Structure 1
Amino acid sequence: MKLSGGARMAAGDAQEAAGSGKREAAARHWLTYYIKKTIRVVPHSSSFGGGRRRQRFKHVQVFCDSPSFRVNVPDRYLLAIRGRPAVLGCEFTPDPDLSSLVITWQRSENSQVVHSFYYQQDQLDRQSREFHNRTSLFISELGKGNASLRMNSVGPKDAGQYLCQVSNAKGTGQAQIELDYGALYSEPRFYIHVNSTTVTVQFETEGFPKPEVIWLGEHGQNLSYHLELHDQTEDGLYIVKSSFEAQKPVVNVTFTLKNHLLNQNLQRPVILSYVSNEAGGRSWKMAAIISLSIISIILFAVVMFLQFKKPIKSNL
């Protein structure tokens, strides 16, 4: 555990006192200093006249008799997925007496209070507004050394470093965990836009974080495409619109989207053929001309046949 200069001096005093037979007093001195100056998570609220509330810090002493006290996180990295609760794991050396148990979860970057527990109950007066009604401890597991935090409605802003701080009658400690966030991209919506000369196929989807987009041709070659990546929505999602424009009447392409964070790989092949209105009109006109020509030839042949079939009069 990283201590401030004053805390290191207090710890040094504790070692000297221990060498001179004053180990218990030194341990009290060091731990009291550390909790008061570093953790400071045991506020005691009192009411005064006029409805005003005032906070003062209660002086707490914890004995650190056992060097075996530990606070640790089973996994230092946690990936939260949109729509699912995240459980930030934290374990500590338990003590049957919960009256001295203090648990505080904080953001490492800005020391925001995520969740607090002391006096054998949740203390959420100092909880940051962003986490209101979203966090909880496993109360029935505290006596077993489980200080894990459950967080609901996880979003992109929740990603970052979290600090689990625990103290009880056996000691005090802290451990850090990193929380990341991702959202699976939705089933891509398919659109077709046709004009007189080209056909455009487009896919649209939402997710997080920014994806990799690839368009492949019939033989696996990379194709040039258009990509629109809109700003995040209120849910913290990116809106992705990607399209490919074909210059020929047969389209055989594959749209691929990769969300590397969540190992998501979406592939949607597109195979279609089309005939433009202009081309169809030309074909109809040509067919009509050919048909009329054939009919004219047939009529001419019939007339000639009838003409030659007439009997020839004799001058006898």
Structure 2
Amino acid sequence: MFATLNYSCCLFPASFEVIVPDKHLPAIRGRPAVLGCEFTPDPDLSNLVVTWQRSENSKVVHSFYYQQDQLDRQSPEYHNRTSLFISELHKGNASLRIAAVRPKDAGLYLCIVSNTKGTGRALVKVTYGALYSEPRLSIHVNSSALTVQFETEGFPKPEVIWLGEHGQNLSYHLQLYDQTEDGLYLVKSSYEAQKSAVNVTFTLKNHLLNQNLQRPVFLSYDEDITTNQGTIAVVLSVVCVFLLIAVIWLVRKRTKRRFSTVN
């Protein structure tokens, strides 16, 4: 007699996932950042709990449950700066928006989601960056050399290159000052030429934010004229203009007096 084996079909609940599309997010100073997070959705939001927190210290960045934001335990530095896409929650979108990114926003963020289908978490790394400002050009001339300098602010530390007119790399001077309270580096870079003409290109690269600034400079000066002589010449020119204006004013005034006397 053989035993009959009956196989019953077992129904397993659908797997629950929490994923982040971008595990590394470069965030730009002063601009909003969206930390993407997706989960297996459930149309019924009554049991949905979404929590964003810092992985380093477990500080609460944003919380949602009972079908509304719950911000009583939110860390103070995020007050009035965070939001979820509420209308997208039923589709499985738990992304977090942080307004006006600051230096301290850089770090690790945990997206923790729970609903009737399960619980899961995913990690996002936020890196802070600031686009470098338009480089400010200054030119310094003395009797033997001409110095071209660019100054700008941004973050993180940039790559600086000076190229000659034929594309060759040039030696240059670089000053990198510590971060300011705004989380920026002050960069001053200069190239000194011993020629009467300069044809160079200043290049600054912010690799984190894919920023590439190129500023060509072409100029020439007369080596026989020193800076002081040039300054004196400018002053004399200004004085001559004022004297000419004064002479014209006096001539017109005297002409008017004569005309009034004749009448």
What is the Cα deviation at residue 233 of structure 1?
2.5
User: Secondary structure, in 3 states, of the residue corresponding to 1:157?
Assistant: helix
- State the match for 1:166 in structure 2: 113
Q: Distance in 1 between matches of 2:191 and 2:53?
A: 47
Which amino acid letter does the alignment assign opposite residue 174 of structure 1? R
Whether 1:252 and 2:199 are equivalent positions in the alignment is yes
What is the Cα deviation at residue 139 of structure 1?
1.2
Whether 1:239 and 2:186 are equivalent positions in the alignment is yes
User: Secondary structure, in 3 states, of the residue corresponding to 1:206?
Assistant: strand
User: Secondary structure, in 3 states, of the residue corresponding to 2:127?
Assistant: strand
Q: Distance in 2 between matches of 1:279 and 1:139?
A: 68
Q: Distance in 2 between matches of 1:254 and 1:93?
A: 52
User: Secondary structure, in 3 states, of the residue corresponding to 2:87?
Assistant: helix
What is the Cα deviation at residue 136 of structure 1?
0.4
TM-score (normalised: structure 2): 0.76
Alignment of 1:265-276 (within 5 A): 265-276=212-223
Alpha-carbon deviations, 1:110-149, whole Å to 9, x = none? 2111111112221112111221111001111222221111
Q: Distance in 1 between matches of 2:209 and 2:110?
A: 24
Whether 1:203 and 2:181 are equivalent positions in the alignment is no
Which amino acid letter does the alignment assign opposite residue 26 of structure 2? L
Q: Distance in 1 between matches of 2:162 and 2:145?
A: 17
Whether 1:96 and 2:36 are equivalent positions in the alignment is no
TM-score (normalised: structure 1): 0.64
Q: Distance in 2 between matches of 1:260 and 1:186?
A: 15
Whether 1:223 and 2:170 are equivalent positions in the alignment is yes
User: Secondary structure, in 3 states, of the residue corresponding to 2:46?
Assistant: helix
Q: Distance in 2 between matches of 1:260 and 1:241?
A: 18
Alignment of 1:122-201 (within 5 A): 122-201=69-148
Alpha-carbon deviations, 1:7-54, whole Å to 9, x = none? xxxxxxxxxxxxxxxxxxxxxxxxxxxxxxxxxxxxxxxxxxxxxxxx
What is the Cα deviation at residue 188 of structure 1?
0.8
Contact 2:142-2:226 at 8 Å conserved across structures: no
Which amino acid letter does the alignment assign opposite residue 173 of structure 1? G
Q: Distance in 1 between matches of 2:197 and 2:39?
A: 65
What is the Cα deviation at residue 280 of structure 1?
10
Contact 1:199-1:245 at 8 Å conserved across structures: yes
- State the match for 1:212 in structure 2: 159
Q: Distance in 1 between matches of 2:228 and 2:63?
A: 75
User: Secondary structure, in 3 states, of the residue corresponding to 2:208?
Assistant: helix
What is the Cα deviation at residue 202 of structure 1?
0.6
Contact 2:30-2:102 at 8 Å conserved across structures: no
Instruction: Specify the structure having the higher radius of gyration (Cα).
Output: 1
Structure 2 unaligned spans of 5+: 1-11, 230-263
Alpha-carbon deviations, 1:69-91, whole Å to 9, x = none? 22112222222223431111111
Which amino acid letter does the alignment assign opposite residue 85 of structure 1? P
Contact 2:29-2:103 at 8 Å conserved across structures: no
User: Secondary structure, in 3 states, of the residue corresponding to 2:153?
Assistant: strand
- State the match for 2:9 in structure 1: none
What is the Cα deviation at residue 248 of structure 1?
2.2
- State the match for 1:111 in structure 2: 58
Structure 1 unaligned spans of 5+: 1-64, 283-316
Structure 1 runs, 4 residues or longer, greater than 3 Å off? 276-282
Which amino acid letter does the alignment assign opposite residue 64 of structure 2? F
Q: Distance in 1 between matches of 2:132 and 2:111?
A: 32
Q: Distance in 2 between matches of 1:161 and 1:281?
A: 57
Contact 1:66-1:171 at 8 Å conserved across structures: no
The percent identity for this pair of structures is 78
Contact 1:95-1:170 at 8 Å conserved across structures: yes
- State the match for 2:27 in structure 1: 80
Which amino acid letter does the alignment assign opposite residue 120 of structure 1? Q
What is the Cα deviation at residue 245 of structure 1?
1.4
